[in-house]
């Protein structure tokens, strides 16, 4: 009995040690596999069916974790990059959304307008770098009846988008009415020089004060102040001239002396007669 108990204890101890060793080896293997695969990264897949050419809504996508090793550069890893995007193909629930499946939603404000891309080239010149929502004037130099002519082709054209290569300005996308698009494209192809100038901010005027107008206002304001002061002084003299505030002099004492002096003169002349 004692020998059997001792053997049982030895077997139990050996089995426990083997189990611990096996568990340690399994954990080590899992760690090695995770190290090879890398950490888990969230990618975005379709949560519901998304029709093509429709604006992607936040509730139509969900996050899914996959190992970083299997993440392709075309996968969407930032949910904010799906904002204002539309799908070019229909998506089913569970489909992985890639960058080549989406494109920016149109930013044309009017359904009768079109976006025309204009890149800087030999015959197209930008006087300064532009930003989205700027407005431009288009100046065209071409020949009319064999004579060179430079004229304003379009005014106050809105800039929808700006094209850049890194930090270098490349061109813009102009929003034009549909009926003006063929005319502008014709000038793009056949005009000698097209100059694109940055216009004022919209159709309003800049609130920059002009010094000449300020001086004119100051000069015109001085006589007004003087006239105001003059009217004020006149208004102050009027109450002094009013006889209501001064005691009235009776005219009767002045008239009797005149009559008394006239009476002796008449009597004297009568005596001479």
* 136 and 95 within one domain: no
* 77 and 150 within one domain: no
Q: Residue 106 has what pLDDT?
A: 64
Rg of the chain taking only CA atoms, in angstroms: 49
Higher-confidence residue of 104 and 49: namely 49
Q: Residue 34 has what pLDDT?
A: 76
Nearest C-alpha neighbor of 121 from the set 185, 170, 54: 170
Asked if residue 103 lies in contact with residue 122, where contact means CB atoms within 8 angstroms, the answer is: no
Q: Is residue 139 part of a domain?
A: yes
Last residue of a domain, one of 81, 104, 127: 104
**What DSSP string describes 39-53?**
SEEEEEEESS-B-TT
Percentage of the chain modeled with pLDDT above 90: 37
Q: Residue 260 has what pLDDT?
A: 42
Last residue of a domain, one of 159, 183, 199: 199
Is it the case that residue 125 has pLDDT exceeding 90?
A: yes
Higher-confidence residue of 226 and 119: namely 119
Which domain range does residue 97 map to? 40-104
Q: Is residue 162 part of a domain?
A: yes
Q: Give the CA dihedral 42, 47, 49, 51, nearest 10 degrees.
A: -50
- Tokens representing 117 are 């891309």
- CA-CA distances (angstroms) from residue 137 to 127, 154, 179? 11, 6, 18
Q: Is residue 174 part of a domain?
A: yes
């Amino acid at each position: 009995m004692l020998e059997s108990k001792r053997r049982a204890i030895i077997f139990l101890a050996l089995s426990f040690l083997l189990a611990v060793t096996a568990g340690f080896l399994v954990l080590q293997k899992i760690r090695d596999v995770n190290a090879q695969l890398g950490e888990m990264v969230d990618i975005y897949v379709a949560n519901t069916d998304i029709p093509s050419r429709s604006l992607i809504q936040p509730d139509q996508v969900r996050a899914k974790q996959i190992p970083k090793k299997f993440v392709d550069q075309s996968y969407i890893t930032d949910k904010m990059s799906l904002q204002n995007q539309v799908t070019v193909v229909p998506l089913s629930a569970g489909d992985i959304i890639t960058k080549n499946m989406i494109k920016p939603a149109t930013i044309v404000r009017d359904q009768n307008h079109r976006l025309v891309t204009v890149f800087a080239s030999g015959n197209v010149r930008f006087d300064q770098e532009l930003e989205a929502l700027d407005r431009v004037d288009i100046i065209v130099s071409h020949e009319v009846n064999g004579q060179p002519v430079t004229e304003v082709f379009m005014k106050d054209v809105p800039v929808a988008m700006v094209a850049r290569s890194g930090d270098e300005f490349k061109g813009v996308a102009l929003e034009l009415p549909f009926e003006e698009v063929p005319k502008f494209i014709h000038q793009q192809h056949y005009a000698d020089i097209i100059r694109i100038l940055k216009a004022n901010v919209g159709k309003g005027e800049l609130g920059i004060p002009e010094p000449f107008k300020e001086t004119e206002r100051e000069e015109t304001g001085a006589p007004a102040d003087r006239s105001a002061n003059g009217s004020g002084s006149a208004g102050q003299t009027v109450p002094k001239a009013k006889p209501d505030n001064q005691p009235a002099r009776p005219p009767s004492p002045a008239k009797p002396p005149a009559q008394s002096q006239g009476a002796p003169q008449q009597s004297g002349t009568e005596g001479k007669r």
